[in-house]
């Protein structure tokens, strides 16, 4: 492969797709548990976590972060495992950006 083609190829590489991860509201998960999830799994500050939790509580869902496919999938799985272990029905979903 010549130098020209190598340069062309490197400049046309696409960024990996990104996925938004949301938490959904429900009537049973405690506010404290959701704040813990936002701090521990999504690395939010306590203040940010409270704001996101209240947005979810009032509007039905809230954005927790934007990640590559594998990381988004792992976050969703971590939320579901932790929620199940604590007997809460908390749900997370991912959506292509």
Q: By C-alpha distance, which of 50, 59, 61, 63 is closest to 20?
A: 63
| Residues 12-71 within binding reach of ligand TYC (CB under 6 A) | 23-27, 29-31, 34, 53, 56-57
Which letter does DSSP use for residue 22 in this model? E
User: Among 64, 72, 76, 90, which residue sits at the site for ligand TYC (rule: CB under 6 A)?
Assistant: 90
Q: How far is the CB of 13 from ligand TYC (least distance, A)?
A: 37
| 62 backbone dihedrals φ, ψ, rounded to 5° | -150, 145
Q: How far is the CB of 79 from ligand TYC (least distance, A)?
A: 9
Signed CA dihedral, 21, 26, 28, 32: sign only: positive
Residues of this chain that bind ligand TYC (CB under 6 A): 23-27, 29-31, 34, 53, 56-57, 90
């Amino acid at each position: 492969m010549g130098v020209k083609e190598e340069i062309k190829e490197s400049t046309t590489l696409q960024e990996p797709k990104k996925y938004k991860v949301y938490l959904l509201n429900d009537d049973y998960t405690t506010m404290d548990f959701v704040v813990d999830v936002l701090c521990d799994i999504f690395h939010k500050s306590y203040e940010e976590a409270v704001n996101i939790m209240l947005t979810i509580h009032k509007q039905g869902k809230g954005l927790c972060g934007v990640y590559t496919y594998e990381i988004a999938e792992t976050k969703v799985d971590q939320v579901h495992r932790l929620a199940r272990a604590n007997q809460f029905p908390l749900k997370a979903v991912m959506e292509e950006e």
